[in-house]
């Protein structure tokens, strides 16, 4: 998708009704138990925020950013996701968390990012985090500078996300079950599943709806 055209959709994207959990749950295995709002509250989850950043590539086509997290002693090591991280007391709100973490992890100055909107919170049972995903735009391709938490920058063409052929089922072993069929996206020859796939599913539905 041409980036100028994507920018022309931004006002619609900001105002449109979200697909919510209906969109997100397209990308969970049937074996995963659904948690309602009350049970999530009882778990007293930690707060975090991530940023889905859209920007032009060198051909002025719309890309978005994913990262491969570095190896470390943690639940989300070696996983593909959006830049982001844990809410800190110094953060004014979760939007600032998403901007700060993106700046720290991949070196994009906060002032170069226009925040569009928040989408539906995503609960991650293995690490007991409730994650607030935000959509943002940079008008130029960023000059990435990874910190120690990031192993690799993954620049994904938006057209690949919107292509239904990017979705498939893969037999995976997860933190809660072995050898189960998991819905996932195939993007840049990578398998993207779990919470990131859930967020991407809602983003996909939102952008598709804005095209109508």
Distance CA 47, CA 98 (A): 11
What is the set of domains in the chain, with CATH numbers? 3-210 (3.90.79.10)
Element holding 114 (H helix, E strand): strand 114-118
- From the list 137, 118, 147, 143, the residue with the least C-alpha distance to 48 is 118
Residue 47, CA distances (Å) to 40, 50, 75, 122, 123 in order: 12, 11, 15, 10, 10
Residue 55, CA distances (Å) to 40, 62, 63, 130, 136 in order: 34, 6, 5, 26, 9
Residue 34 — pLDDT band, cuts 50, 70, 90? low
pLDDT reported for residue 126: 80
pLDDT reported for residue 73: 54
> Is it the case that residue 76 has pLDDT exceeding 80?
no
pLDDT reported for residue 38: 72
Residue 18 — pLDDT band, cuts 50, 70, 90? very high
Mean pLDDT, all residues of the chain: 91
Q: What angle do CA 135, 159, 102 make, to 5 degrees?
A: 30
Residue 176 — pLDDT band, cuts 50, 70, 90? low
Tell which wins on pLDDT, 176 or 48.
48
> Is it the case that residue 77 has pLDDT exceeding 70?
no
Distance CA 155, CA 15 (A): 26
Residue 45 makes CB contacts below 8 A (sequence gap 6+) with: 123, 128, 129, 130
> Is it the case that residue 74 has pLDDT exceeding 60?
no
What torsion do the CA atoms of 6, 10, 16, 22 make, to the nearest 10 degrees? Answer: 50
130-170 per-position pLDDT tens digit: 999 999 999 999 999 999 999 999 999 999 999 999 999 99
- Mean pLDDT over 43-61 rounds to 95
Backbone angles phi, psi at 72, to 5 degrees: -160, 175
Q: What angle do CA 127, 128, 133 make, to 5 degrees?
A: 90
Tell which wins on pLDDT, 32 or 143.
143
| Chain centre distance of CA 70 | 17
Distance CA 93, CA 192 (A): 28
- From the list 143, 185, 183, 148, the residue with the least C-alpha distance to 163 is 185
User: What pTM was computed for the model?
Assistant: 0.92
> Is it the case that residue 41 has pLDDT exceeding 80?
no
């Amino acid at each position: 998708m041409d980036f100028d055209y994507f920018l022309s959709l931004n006002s619609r994207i900001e105002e449109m009704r979200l697909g919510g959990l209906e969109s997100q749950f397209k990308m969970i295995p049937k074996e995963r138990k659904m948690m309602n709002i009350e049970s999530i509250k009882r778990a007293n989850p930690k707060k975090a925020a991530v940023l889905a950043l859209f920007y032009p590539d060198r051909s002025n086509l719309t890309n978005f950013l994913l990262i491969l997290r570095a190896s470390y002693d943690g639940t989300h090591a070696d996983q593909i996701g959006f830049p982001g991280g844990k809410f800190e007391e110094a953060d004014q709100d979760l939007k600032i968390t998403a901007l700060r973490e993106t700046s720290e992890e991949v070196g994009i100055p906060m002032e170069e990012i226009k925040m569009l909107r928040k989408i539906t919170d995503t609960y991650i049972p293995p690490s007991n985090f409730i994650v607030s995903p935000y959509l943002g735009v940079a008008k130029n391709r960023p000059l990435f500078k990874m910190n120690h938490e990031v192993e690799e920058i993954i620049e994904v063409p938006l057209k690949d996300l919107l292509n239904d052929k990017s979705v498939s089922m893969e037999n995976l072993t997860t933190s809660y079950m072995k050898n189960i069929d998991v819905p996932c996206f195939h993007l840049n020859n990578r398998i993207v599943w779990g919470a990131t796939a859930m967020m991407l599913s809602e983003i996909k539905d939102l952008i598709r709806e804005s095209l109508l």
